[in-house]
Amino acid sequence: MTERNLHRSDGRLAGGGGAFFIDSPTVIAVDKQHGTTPFTTSLRIAGGQIAEMGTDLRPLPGETVISGKNRLVTPGQVNAHTHNWEAFWRGTQDNLPLELWMLMCYPLLGTEPLAPEMVRLRALLLATESLKSGVTTVVDDAYELPTQRLDHLAAEFAAYSQAGIRANVSGQISDIPFLDTMPFARDYLAPEVQRLADDCSVLSSSDYLRFAQEAIASFDGSGEDERLRFMLGPSAPQRCTAELLIGCGELAAEHDLEFHTHVLETRTQRVHADRDFNGSFIEWFEQLGILSPRLTLAHGVWLRPAELELLSENGCSIAHNPLSNMKLGSGLLPWSQVRRSGINLALGTDGVCSSDTHRLSEVMKSAALVHKITSDDPEEWPTAGEVIEAATLGGARSARLGHKVGSLEPGKSADLVIYDLDTLAFCPRQDVSKQLIYSENGSSIRQVMVAGRMVVEDGETVLVDEAELRRDIAEITPWLHRWQAEAQRANEVFLEGFWKQYRHAVRRWSGSMCSPWHSPHEWRRP
């Protein structure tokens, strides 16, 4: 760490942050009273929390006063779905649907395990770009090939501890042989090619649950403000056994952890559910007893009305990843139907091999825009306020942190972003909530605070030396290129069969490219 950074963070680390007084900024609180309507108030921050808010507050002796003139304060954003694995794969793929894309950036065969130090750099990269862009909480569904180890997880927790970010970090697991996680893979692959995949070892559910228990004991609740948490990450219904899903549900309930999984991201998965799961992954989840407010589904693009209802009744969340869903041609979640159903809606970038950004603000702008072209009824279109809520309080709720972050209210942790309003994006000053979504690109961010600790000052990370991080990663990049090329070459053997599988699945679909909601036709049952 440089001297400059040491100096900056000096004195602000003890006891989860210093004492601050933010004097009369414009605030978007996302609280019950104001929602996302901007207003003016002062904030007192002490002991890592928002101690007081009000227009008649005055600074106390010993407080660092931050002038609120030309400043906007918002809750920190919650990136409700990403994978730090992909931080080394951004910019490598284009124009591949999920099932083919996975072969190239999560290569099944021939992937050498990464050293924990590389995993640490990878997670630090995610944390750094997140914090600088106003994300104070990341939900990192951490996956590791060929197998995730505790020292990988330790490296991820160490990175988030250093950067000062809040995080839920999973062990992500699939305990079903790879080719059986897709509906037609075996139909299009020669036996000797199938054998290559089948020879890869698959972790058993009991091994994973033991791993998860060790991870909970070692890492859950670490960091100031207990801000680093473990979460259960069974990859997807078609990739996990009933024993695994039930075991994860029990552990999540016992420790009140987020239960994070991927559901109905692509048309292939919808076809799979219809053929092999009696028409519904969600009804299957219900039978297993794992629908609960702890459950967050990434994607949910191809959910049907009855499934939305079940999720809503059980207080579940959906993490919506429009950039990833567009880039992989997966489809588009029915925004207004999900909102109306009462399901808690959060936003995620997904991994940066499919988005390719850790900046949730880009997801926010895309979400606000893309759904407007799916209906000719403007009543159905997302408002800037709905999007801000999904990116803050919605994300917090999905991460089991709704009581702690996601809005600016006395008693909550001081996770917040301070924007400069004297910038081109806010010139001339109009409705700053709309300008925040449609005009601001992150360059107005001056300070970011997590649990009352300043983690970004003048737009730069305080606890991570970004130049050093970029240097460290540049040093290993030639090795990464070789590592990636070798793994990709080893998996080309699956490509032809996987294209055939993809075409088989999409042939069953006669409707629009979006979800069944947006289709003028009925879903064609197999």
**DSSP, res 257:** -
In the complex, residue closest to Zn ion by CB: 350
CB of 379 to Zn ion, least distance (A): 30
CB of 141 to Zn ion, least distance (A): 6
CB of 516 to Zn ion, least distance (A): 20
CB of 347 to Zn ion, least distance (A): 13
Query: Which of 486, 525, 495, 494 lies closest to 509, judged by CA?
Result: 525
The angle formed by the CA atoms of residues 149, 103 and 248, to the nearest 5 degrees, is 40
| Nearer Cβ to Zn ion (350/389) | 350
CB of 479 to Zn ion, least distance (A): 26
Largest Cα separation within the chain, whole Å, is 75
| Nearer Cβ to Zn ion (38/394) | 394
| Nearer Cβ to Zn ion (102/469) | 102
User: Tokens representing 399?
Assistant: 């991460």
CB of 81 to Zn ion, least distance (A): 6
| Nearer Cβ to Zn ion (350/386) | 350
CB of 299 to Zn ion, least distance (A): 7
CB of 155 to Zn ion, least distance (A): 20
How many other CB atoms sit within 10 Å of the CB of residue 431? Answer: 13
**Which amino acid is located at 435 in the chain?**
Q
Q: How far apart are the first and last CA of the chain?
A: 59
| Nearer Cβ to Zn ion (248/450) | 248
| Nearer Cβ to Zn ion (51/126) | 126
Q: Which helix (H) or strand (E) holds 23?
A: strand 20-23
Strands 42-46 and 39-40: unpaired
Those residues with Cβ within 8 angstroms of residue 336's Cβ, 6 or more apart along the chain or in another chain? 371, 375, 379, 380, 381, 382
CB of 336 to Zn ion, least distance (A): 23
DSSP 329-386: T-----HHHHHHHT-EEEE----TTSS--S-HHHHHHHHHHHGGGS-S-GGGSPPHHH
| Nearer Cβ to Zn ion (99/386) | 99
| Nearer Cβ to Zn ion (298/399) | 298
CB of 350 to Zn ion, least distance (A): 4
| Nearer Cβ to Zn ion (53/80) | 80
Query: Which of 326, 373, 316 lies closest to 346, judged by CA?
Result: 316
Site residues (vs Zn ion, CB under 5 A): 298, 350
| SS3 of residue 180 by DSSP | helix
Q: Which helix (H) or strand (E) holds 298?
A: strand 295-299
d(CA 216, CA 208): 12
**DSSP, res 108:** S
Query: Which of 220, 236, 219 lies closest to 276, judged by CA?
Result: 236
Query: Which of 261, 320, 319 lies closest to 288, judged by CA?
Result: 261
| Nearer Cβ to Zn ion (271/432) | 271
